Amino acid sequence: MENKVFNCISILLHPIFLTTVGMTLIMSQMLSGNTAAQWVLVAFCAGYTILLPLAFIGFAKLIGYVDSIRMRRRRERVFVLVVTVVCTFSFAHVLGNWHAPVIMRIFVLATAITLTITALVSIFTCISLHTTGWGGLSALISYLSFSHPDISMFLALVVLLSGLVATARLKLGEHTQLQVYSGFAIGFLTIWTVFIINTL
């Protein structure tokens, strides 16, 4: 029963959703107007960072390149990360062409860089993609809360969910403590660094 709960947590709080969650947060809390065009960008984000990677993963499973959606083999994890990196950089390019708000462009670029670093690290070790994603979302909210203190309540929620995800990954035996904590650190530090560099 306990494993079922932790599996549900891992699925519901999967990192594949977090770029779109971040874009939605930026859209609803940071930008004035909430125009239809801005919401279209959020929809495109979901298409590029959720639907396209899932389609590639489904095709890879169909042809036997990926054995399980858990992607326990290193080759499978790296493949999925490379696909997601390409999709995310493609979306960053779209945002640039459409002259999207700068904050959105920086966040998606930072996410693509985080995924690239994670893909490189995954060649050598099975770092937690879940905590990497939640570390990145925590960094986004903590960075933005300096200029918009009213969103700091979201930070407490995201940190709580990050801890829940980390616990689930450890209890399921999917990762070691080092892989979980280093994943969070990579996500958090990379997003923060990219934001600082792009806003100097």
- Tell me which of 57-71, 76-90, 113-127 is least confident: 57-71
- In angstroms, the CA 123 to CA 37 distance is 39
Q: For residues 93 and 150, which has the higher predicted lDDT (pLDDT)?
A: 93
Q: Left (φ > 0), alpha (ψ -120 to 50) or beta: where does 34 sit?
A: left
One-letter amino acid at 178 equals L
| pLDDT averaged over every residue in the chain | 92
- Tell me which of 5-19, 36-50, 119-133, 155-169 is least confident: 36-50
- Tell me which of 6-10, 37-41, 119-123 is least confident: 37-41
- Tell me which of 33-42, 81-90, 138-147 is least confident: 33-42
Q: What's the pTM value of the predicted model, to 2 decimals?
A: 0.93
Domain borders along the chain are 2-199
Query: Is 138 in contact with 21 (CB distance < 8 Å)?
Result: no
Q: Is 87's pLDDT higher than 70?
A: yes
Q: What is the pLDDT of residue 187?
A: 98
DSSP states along 39-60: HHHHHHHHIIIIIHHHHHHHHH
* Residue closest to 119 by CA, chosen among 74, 92, 82: 82
